[in-house]
Amino acid sequence: MPSDVSRPETTLVRRARKINRVLAETYPEAGCELDFRTPFELLVATVLSAQTTDRRVNAITPALFAAFPDARAMAAADRAALEELIRPTGFFRAKTESLLRLSADLVEHHDGEVPGRLPELVALRGVGRKTANVVLGNAFGVPGLTVDTHFARLVRRFKWVPGEIAKDPVKTERAVAAIFPAKDWTMLSHRLIWHGRRCCHAKKPACGACPVAQWCPAFGTGPIDPVEAAALITTQGPA
């Protein structure tokens, strides 16, 4: 990571790594919740997951990939047909444009294959660092931090990053990367996202039933009564 990232305090590092260990025990099954078989399918599914649920994306991708199984097929897709297939994910016109463009870029610059390096991925039209890190970590085994809304909310509540940094996804990524070894980045992302979806909700976190409550500076943001908090826990991520 860039050298301009200051070294985090030892106490912060110890607390953060303890939280990660407890979340690993709490969510041993944590992983990518998008269904995919190839790097291209994961790239497309991740683009579609913006502003919708993973479950909704998983519901439409079998038909989508049956019609357009690879970048060459999708680059040549009829726009109206593609729009109709992805319509349930919302913002389908903008997403269709992104899929057509990134597929064309893959065909033109990478012989139709998804590259396994960050610079080449973010150079694809419609692909940002978050999407690139999802693909790298889950399709290629390259460590990366996925700073989505859940990730950003939790690191802010845990005070792993200062408030002004937490507003910037790239600065957040760099700050959290300085706390953990690279080998932990991908699974850390999954655990934080799973915890954010199931327990540490945006509006009403289940503080009284949270497995990492004793290390969380934001404890008390939500109900602390164990029974009331337990009722807020979800067994499957809603988004």
Phi/psi for 193 (5° steps) reads -65, -45
State the pTM of this model: 0.90
pLDDT tens digits, 32-77: 999 999 999 999 999 999 999 999 999 999 999 999 999 999 999 9
Domain-located, residue 236: no
pLDDT tens digits, 156-167: 999 999 877 878
Average pLDDT over residues 222-230: 97
Same domain, 130 and 71: yes
What is the average pLDDT score of the chain?
Answer: 94
Active-site option among 54, 95, 105, 148: 148
pLDDT higher than 90, residue 222: yes
Per DSSP, the three-state class of 200 is coil
* Residue 111 a catalytic site member: no
Same domain, 183 and 203: yes
pLDDT tens digits, 79-135: 999 999 999 999 999 999 999 999 999 999 999 999 999 999 999 999 999 999 999
Task: Give the sign of the dihedral formed by CA 38, CA 21, CA 222, CA 227.
Answer: positive
**Residue 180 domain boundaries:** 10-29+146-230
- The CATH number covering residue 103 comes to 1.10.340.30
**What confidence score (pLDDT) does residue 149 get?**
92
CA distance 204 to 105: 42
Percent of the chain at pLDDT above 90?
92
pLDDT higher than 60, residue 28: yes
Q: Quick count: other Cβ atoms within 10 Å of Cβ 206?
A: 22
* Residue 171 a catalytic site member: no
Active-site option among 130, 159, 184, 204: 130
